[in-house]
Chain A
């Protein structure tokens, strides 16, 4: 189960995984959780949202050489109502931040966010002395996976998406609600 080729022991340094597997839960719900999570993680459909150069690397990840579709991200949906994950690829500026928040709100649960590239993680090359860049998309929407790089290679983005699949696999219905409630918007 999980990502082919990687042993479970290799992810030992991830605390949340240990906590979740150690918490233990109802056997009936665990099986239902497994099936639901298996379905969700194997067909994550991203929203077309590319702001800057990382968008081109995201397109290259969908191109023939590093194929996105073999991991389940078959199509890009243009409408937020039909998408599962939003890959924020590029810089977010003060003028764009309300638009991004609105898109995120329009997506239906379950929804995930991947912050791709240095600009989305912390402002990137525009961190110092730029008057209009939001220093990290974390200030606007809650982020699940950070993919560093400027721009990250398509292989790095694929690794980030596989980490997201692993994260989905270990979530239960209860932990998802707790996570959404605890995020505070700065």
Chain B
């Protein structure tokens, strides 16, 4: 499916969502409550079959914390990008997609470790690289006077 057909298909299964054509991929902004359901349907529906999750990126937008999912289908060779945001910086919680794609297991642990976003229903949410007393380094308000030079 090309980008326009994909956009119409997503609108048909999830209602009206903000869909933008980015430089390379179709970008769909999803509210956190609809994320898991949309991800499951994109994986299982015959027309889309997005079986390859190749990247999960955690981003700190300043006011919000967000996660970007890059999906690809090995059968139809089309890709889509799902974006979601939450403005709760104290205790951000999103749904985990680890039972849909196994690759999400380690990626979500990394996002939790570096940004502090917790994932509900994750099989084993522990910090991956750093230990429990460390802050969340990839946040924009992470302060480390010894090591990091701010201009």
Contacts and interface: CB of A to CB of B under 8 A. Distances in A.
Nearest to A93: B129
B132 interface: no
Contact of A129 (B129, B130, B131, B147): B147
B144 interface: yes
Interface residues of B, number: 9
B131 A95 contact: yes
A132 B149 contact: no
Most A CB contacts (10 A, CB to CB) among B144, B147, B149 go to: B147
Most B CB contacts (10 A, CB to CB) among A128, A129, A130, A131 go to: A131
Q: How large is the interface on A (under 10, 10 to 19, 20 to 34, 35 or more residues)?
A: under 10
A98 B108 CA distance: 27
B148 A132 contact: no
Given A131-B137, A131-B144, A95 B149 contact: no
A132 B148 CA distance: 10
A131 B147 contact: yes
A128 B149 contact: yes
Contacts of A130: 147
Interface string B95-133: 000000000000000000000000000000000011100
A131 B148 contact: yes
A175 to B, nearest CB: 35
A128 B149 CA distance: 8
A49 B142 CA distance: 32
Contacts of A133: 147
Contacts of A128: 149
A130 B147 CA distance: 6
A47 to B, nearest CB: 25
B97 to A, nearest CB: 28
Contacts of A129: 147-149
Contacts of B142: 131
B146 to A, nearest CB: 9
Interface string A98-137: 0000000000000000000000000000001111110000
A161 B39 CA distance: 57
B79 to A, nearest CB: 33
Contacts of B131: 95
Ranked 5 nearest A-B pairs via Cβ: A131-B147, A131-B144, A131-B137, A129-B148, A129-B149
7 contacts: A128-B149, A131-B137, A131-B142, A131-B147, A131-B148, A132-B137, A132-B147
Interface of B: 129-131, 137, 142, 144, 147-149
Interface of A: 95, 128-133
Given A95-B129, A95-B130, 15 more contacts: A95-B131, A128-B149, A129-B147, A129-B148, A129-B149, A130-B147, A131-B137, A131-B142, A131-B144, A131-B147, A131-B148, A132-B130, A132-B137, A132-B147, A133-B147
